[in-house]
A and B are shown apart, each in its own frame.
Chain A
Amino acid sequence: MGRKVLMCGNDACGEGAMLAGCTFYAGYPITPQNELTAYMAKRMNETGGVFIQAESELAAINMVFGAACAGVRAMTSSSSPGISLKQEGISYLVGCELPCVVVNMQRGGPGLGNIAPAQGDYFQAVKGGGHGDYKLIVLAPSSVQELLEHTYTAFGLADKYRNPVLILGDGLLGQMMEPIQLDMKRPVTHVEKPWALTGCKGRKSQFIRSLFLAEGALEEHNKKLQEKFKTIKASEVRAETYYVKDSRILLVAYGSVARTAKASMDKAREKGIKAGLIRPISLWPFPDKAIRDLAGPGKKFLVVEMSAGQMVEDVMLAVNGASEVDFYGRMGGGIPSEKEILEKIEALV
């Protein structure tokens, strides 16, 4: 038996980073992710890593850029408005092919919004967010245990593909407490970084850039990035399914609301309704094949989100007209209840 401890999601996320060998964290206070910043301050101090409370989100993501340049595992975290500020830096990190982990504990928007949980940043996370053609690997945990594990996994993926990985949580996940297993079964993946800037001792000098001015050079760079995204799409899709084989109603939900959706699904099954659940874990690459394979005549999809309907667009693209796709969402901190989702399922039967 490994260690079992009671932890809040934000702390578990931080511990996942520490287990993965993260040695640099820069962040700026914003609710509902402040526990994570405080946790990293404490743990970096204990382990001799670097913690910087930056003057802004812009500075934090660019400090991470610097640490990533120098070859270490680096992380920053924030919540929705702060993640908007980081978008420029994230675009540069992708353009320069630098690995790092960014955590977004989403809150209600737009604007200053509120500090309640929401999923309104899905488009920003999976469609780009910053300028230029790029993708982030986006992982969506739905429990405190998964926050630990996905953050741990994220560092390996970031290094493997030289691309930022985004952990898309929300205020509910970040602040709730659950008992979790702290021990990682998988060892930390060590990736050589010959591209890192360490001083040119014993090798030629090198530079890191996203600027390509020569004719055609930027297009070539973009093609290379797109090839990488193709590889990621082919190799890194993650999703979980429940009772999908015989289901007539297929729920699709991610993150914390997927747990409520699962409870509603169980209630529907008790009532004899053949309901199932697809829970995308990687939001990009999106599990579109898994969804497409389940679509067909006589089957209905119900997408549940804490937003006005964002992931539902990707589900519709995947289903491609083969089934009806319905949506239930709440916004601005509203959380769909088990009863509300169940009523929606019953209405679809």
Chain B
Amino acid sequence: MKRKKNKVNRLEPAIQEAGPVSSYPASLKEIDTHYCSGCGHGIVHRLICEVVDEFGIREKVIGVAPVGCAVIAYDYWDFDVTEAAHGRTPAVATGIKRVRPDNIVFTYQGDGDLAAIGTAEIIHTANRGENITVIFVNNGVYGMTGGQMAPTTLAGQKTDTTKSGRNLRREGYPIKILEMMAVLPGVKYLERVSVHSAQEVIRAKRAIKKAFKTQIDNKGFSMVEVLSMCPTYWDMTPIQAADRIKNDVSTFYPIGVVKSY
């Protein structure tokens, strides 16, 4: 009994920081989720809403939703959102931010959207130092289209298009976007986080908050890469998927701040 109490006490500051999870943030609509069980998108959606509410910027935010599993993100968020063509998300965000610099503009992109079809847009948006925030959800697979290889798929990982596992000689290497972007002077804040455990979720929220703060303070381009679970196309239970991030994914994609101002 005493031991149990101590355990709760150790977690208490973190839980307090996270706030009550039994209620919805004002920016998050109370609708049923379309995401698979164990998927990380719902957590990331919520974290963005919590951050938006804590900054009191719900009425100033304009989100840009990607093509991918999060294509209907606007169904969840109770602030202004537009869709964007696959990968062109940062270009759309650039257009919005340039004509409405007082609004807070962010993109929400998956690894296919950001690290494959939209590579040119993300690099050049970052290089121009656009004062926007990018939330990059990396689950190493194309979820919406049925589990094909993503640019971020790990070596040996089996997908719908790499049946025997990603072969580095044949399919190339998993891409580390944050590390590539760190060298660009227009980029002010980069952090990689994960949502595979309560503790990591709390860290992820801190990073998202820092990224939005970067924009609010008019510092320039900010981006958070969130390692996220896809139990469906990893062919795992949600718990196995969380363990995989802890043991494998975060080994290749190290969690932590990549660049800060």
Query: Interface of A with B (CB < 8 Å)?
Result: 23-24, 26, 50, 52, 54-56, 58-60, 62-72, 74, 88-89, 92, 96, 197-202, 205-211, 213
Contact = CB atoms under 8 A, between A and B. Distances in A.
B60 A62 contact: no
Contacts of B123: 55
23 contacts: A23-B99, A50-B99, A62-B84, A62-B91, A63-B92, A63-B94, A65-B84, A66-B97, A66-B98, A67-B98, A69-B95, A70-B95, A89-B88, A96-B83, A197-B80, A197-B82, A198-B100, A199-B60, A199-B103, A202-B59, A205-B78, A207-B82, A211-B71
Given A55-B120, A70-B100, A209 B88 contact: no
Interface magnitude class on chain B: 35 or more
Contacts of A210: 83
A96 B82 contact: yes
**B65, B77, B80 interface centre (most CB from chain A within 10 Å):** B80
Contacts of B103: 70, 198-199
A197 B85 contact: no
Contact of B99 (A56, A70, A202): A70
A70 B103 CA distance: 10
Given A58-B91, A69-B96, A205-B77, A211 B83 contact: yes
B177 interface: no
B93 A207 contact: no
Contact of A54 (B59, B82, B84, B91): B91
A103 to B, nearest CB: 17
Contacts of A88: 85
B202 interface: no
B80 A66 contact: no
A55 B88 CA distance: 12
B121 interface: yes
Given A23-B99, A56-B120, A62-B121, A198 B91 contact: no
Contact of A26 (B72, B82, B85, B95): B95
Interface string B118-132: 001101100010000
Nearest to B100: A70
B158 interface: no
Nearest to A210: B83
Given A62-B85, A65-B84, A205 B95 contact: no
Given A72-B99, A199-B103, A211-B71, A66 B92 contact: yes
Given A65-B91, A65-B95, 10 more contacts: A24-B95, A58-B120, A62-B88, A66-B95, A67-B98, A199-B103, A201-B59, A207-B81, A207-B82, A211-B72
Contacts of B61: 199
A28 B98 CA distance: 17
Nearest to A69: B82
Contacts of A202: 59
Given A55-B121, A70-B100, A197-B62, A205 B79 contact: yes
Contacts of A65: 84-85, 88, 91-92, 95
Contacts of B58: 200
A222 to B, nearest CB: 17
A326 to B, nearest CB: 42
Given A55-B120, A72-B99, A198-B100, A66 B83 contact: no
A69 B98 CA distance: 12
Contacts of B91: 54, 58-60, 62-63, 65-66
Contact of A199 (B74, B80, B121, B124): B80
B147 to A, nearest CB: 20
B100 A213 contact: no
Contacts of A52: 94, 98, 128
B95 A63 contact: yes
A64 to B, nearest CB: 6
A65 B62 CA distance: 14
Contacts of B88: 58-59, 62, 65, 89
Nearest to A93: B85
Contacts of B93: 66
Contacts of B84: 62, 65-66, 92
Nearest to B78: A205
A296 to B, nearest CB: 47
A213 B71 CA distance: 11
Which A-B residue pairs are the 8 nearest by beta carbons?
Answer: A66-B95, A62-B91, A62-B88, A55-B124, A201-B59, A207-B74, A63-B95, A66-B92
Contacts of A200: 58-59, 78-80
B125 to A, nearest CB: 8
Contacts of A208: 81-83
Contacts of A74: 95, 99
Interface in B97-123: 97-100, 103, 120-121, 123
B95 A206 contact: no
Interface in B49-78: 58-62, 64-65, 71-72, 74, 77-78
Contacts of A62: 84-85, 88, 91-92, 95, 121
A67 B60 contact: no
**A59, A65, A66, A201 interface centre (most CB from chain B within 10 Å):** A66
B83 A70 contact: no
B96 A67 contact: yes
Contacts of A66: 64, 82, 84, 91-99
Nearest to A64: B95
Nearest to B91: A62
A62 B95 CA distance: 8
